[in-house]
């Protein structure tokens, strides 16, 4: 159990939420499986999306996940920069997919509570990742200000 505590104490003792890592791993695994499998079931929402757009979405999601994970385990400034790029890629991919799901649900007149949560949930997760990106950018700006003060 102590190795888990050591993994989550990165970047010189800074505290951060491990939920981001868990979400990245879950979405990355799902995207990788979908990209390798390549054939969504006929009843899934993914079957309604053009194969080229689906591949672009999955690749963008995987790139975002990889950059988030590399950013967490990289030195401070470069890690933050990689992380914020990954958060934007993953957040954009989730918002785009959520919009597609919501459009299909409205088009097919699916208005049950359980099925309508799909599209807005992806959009909310994407917006949450953009908010996290904003927080990371604030840290990058603070580090930039500190480094300029040290140079003077």
pLDDT tens sequence across 20-72: 788 888 888 888 888 788 766 656 666 667 778 788 888 899 999 999 889 88
Domain boundaries, the chain: 18-151
Counting beta carbons within 10 angstroms of the beta carbon of residue 1, is it exposed (0 to 12), middle (13 to 18) or buried (19 or more)? exposed
Q: Which two tokens stand for residue 65?
A: 């996940």
pTM of the predicted structure, to 2 decimals = 0.76
Cα(31)–Cα(19) distance, rounded to whole angstroms?
18
């Amino acid at each position: 159990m102590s190795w888990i505590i050591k993994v989550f104490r990165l970047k010189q003792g800074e505290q951060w939420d491990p939920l981001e890592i868990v979400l990245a791993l879950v979405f990355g695994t799902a995207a990788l499986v979908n990209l390798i499998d390549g054939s969504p079931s006929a009843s899934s929402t993914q079957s309604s999306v053009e194969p080229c757009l689906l591949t672009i979405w999955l690749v963008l999601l995987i790139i975002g996940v990889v950059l988030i994970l590399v950013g967490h385990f990289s030195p401070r400034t470069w890690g933050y920069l990689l992380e914020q790029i990954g958060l934007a890629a993953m957040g954009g991919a989730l918002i785009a997919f959520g919009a597609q799901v919501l459009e299909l649900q409205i088009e097919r007149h699916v208005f049950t509570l359980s099925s309508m949560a799909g599209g807005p949930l992806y959009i909310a997760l994407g917006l949450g990742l953009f908010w996290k990106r904003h927080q990371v950018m604030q840290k990058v700006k603070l580090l930039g200000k500190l480094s300029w003060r040290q140079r003077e």
